[in-house]
Structure 1
Amino acid sequence: MIDSKIEIAIGDALVAFSEYNSFDATQLTEVFGEVFESDEDFLTKVDELDEVFDDNPEIEVLREVFFDLLLINFFSADVKKLEDDYLETAEWEDIEEQTLDRGTELLNLLLYLNECEDEDIEPELEDYLKEFLLVDEDEFQDEYRIYEPVIANQILIDSPPAEINKVALSLPEDSEVKELFYPMMCFFQNIESTEESRKNIADHAVSPDFDMAVYDILQAFN
């Protein structure tokens, strides 16, 4: 099964990537669709997803982002076919252990956007940090550490993409939000994207193919 929002996000991401890269990733839309729609178990689908990326190294930068989408799709669609308490079983715990080093912080942001839709509220950076990630709470200091560059630069929400670009480039290489910083901040700055704002974001992107693919995934969830 594939969630309709995920299907749109995949298509939009591949179109955006192709727009700013010489490789036509849209030719893989059907292949990815088959992986996501597969009735196989989650780990098998992860293997199938990795196989697509192994066969197409031109889109390697999207591998972990698409893992996030696969996991979101599992939560949104696949899990409906399983027992109600499946996510509390030893089997799922084992899957989590095996995929501990997979994915990105995009997963949390997509979960947040789904929650915003469910509760009919507009996404806001401060709300994401304080109410969803709970970065101010003592027991969530891992989240605080990961998102410290975002917390420290919230003022960029009122700055042009060129300024967001400068900060993104200055983040340490080992920052867990370095790659996502630019598209994430630009998204929260432009919740209602227009053709003009999207072009401005693309013009100042750190890595246009990756940044715009992620940005369009976020817009698909908004």
Structure 2
Amino acid sequence: MDNQVQYSLQAALENFAGLIDEKGPSPELSLLPIFDSDAPLMEKVGLMDTVFDDHAAYEELREVCFDLLLINFFLKDVKKLEEDYLESAEWEAIEEATLDRGTELLNVLLYIRECQEEDLEPELDDFLNEYLLVNEDEFQDEHRIYEAVIANRELADSDYKSIADAAAKVDKENELLELFYPLVSFFYEPHADDDHMAEFTENSQNKAFDAAVYGLLINFNHS
């Protein structure tokens, strides 16, 4: 299992557990062996889903965990496969089968990894313009998905309260509705300490989920 992914998963689960009303056993001990196994990706997905079926209190993190499982595959598992595996019919079938899985968080994680490889600090404008290419004609799907973030890109230089206020106004049908607050907050403060996290959580309308995602991003960025 990739260390970055492990630390991020553990941070997400810990932050989530600390803010939910329904206390119960954490799925961490069940999830870590799945991530670390040599099983095929789709088998891991099935096992992961079973864990979340058995830990209903953590349901909100199912698709976030899928994102982590997928990036773990890209960073670790794929190295054990044939060099052209990501161009194979098998991978194409996996992509087709998982079209409705995961969140846009995967894009942010891949971007952070790219920044680390190039020794760059993550920045919202760079993420939108250079990574997602939202201004290019052939990437208008990305422009549509990230429209609310694009319209509020100046918030990366504001504060948690301003970001939270903007998040409350995001259209309920927007694909980034749930991720808007932690995503933009990450680009506002990608090196959050405990005081930052407390302020972030205080302004959140969905404290457990937001703290889980923000903690995940912070840890992935620091690993």
Task: Tell me the TM-score range normalised by the shorter chain.
Answer: over 0.9
Matched, 1:131 2:102: no
1:158 to 1:26, Cα distance in 2 relative to 1, 3 A: farther
Corresponding residue number in structure 2 for 1:70 = 69
- Can you give the 5+ residue segments of structure 1 that lack an aligned partner in the other structure? none
Task: Give the match for residue 102 of structure 1.
Answer: 101
Superposition deviation, residue 25 in structure 1: 6.5
Counterpart AA for 2:36 = E
How does the TM-score come out when normalised to structure 2? 0.96
The whole-number CA distance in structure 1 between the counterparts of 2:26 and 2:166 is: 34
Kindly report which structure 2 residues correspond to 1:158-177, keeping only aligned pairs within 5 A, or say none: 158-177=157-176
**Equivalent residues of 1:18, 1:26 under 8 A apart:** no
Equivalent residue, structure 1, for 2:55: 56
Instruction: Report SS of the residue matched to 2:125.
Output: helix
Distance across 1 between alignment mates of 2:149 and 2:24: 30
TM-score w.r.t. the length of structure 1 is: 0.96
Compute the displacement of 1:209 (Å): 0.5
Partner Cα distance (1:97, 1:80) in 2: 22
CA deviations 1:115-171 (Å, max 9, x no partner) are 000000000000000000000111100000000100000121222212211221211
Structure 2 residue aligned with 1:220: 219
Identity of aligned residues (%): 49
Deviation at 1:30, TM superposition (A): 1.3
Query: One-letter code of the match for 1:219?
Result: I
Structure 2: give runs of 5+ residues left out of the alignment.
none
How many Å separate the matches in 1 of 2:10 and 2:172?
29
CA RMSD after TM alignment: 1.1
Gap change, CA 1:56 and 1:6, over 3 Å in 2: same
Q: Which amino acid aligns with 1:201?
A: F
Contact 1:193 1:219 in 2 (8 A): yes
**For residues 65 and 26 of structure 1, what CA distance do their matches in structure 2 show?**
19
User: Which residue number corresponds to residue 151 of structure 2?
Assistant: 152
Figure out how many residues of one structure are paired with residues of the other and give that number. Answer: 221
- Partners of 2:100 and 2:27 in 1: CA distance: 25
Q: Which residue of 1 aligns with 2:5?
A: 6
Change (3 A) 1:141 1:94: same
CA distance in 1: counterparts of 2:54 and 2:172, whole angstroms:
27
In structure 2, do the counterparts of structure 1 residues 37 and 178 end up closer, same or farther at CA, with 3 Å as the change threshold? same
Offset of residue 191 of structure 1: 1.5
Q: Deviations over 1:15-49 (max 9, x none)?
A: 10011113456732111101111211111100001
Aligned residue identity for 2:153: Q
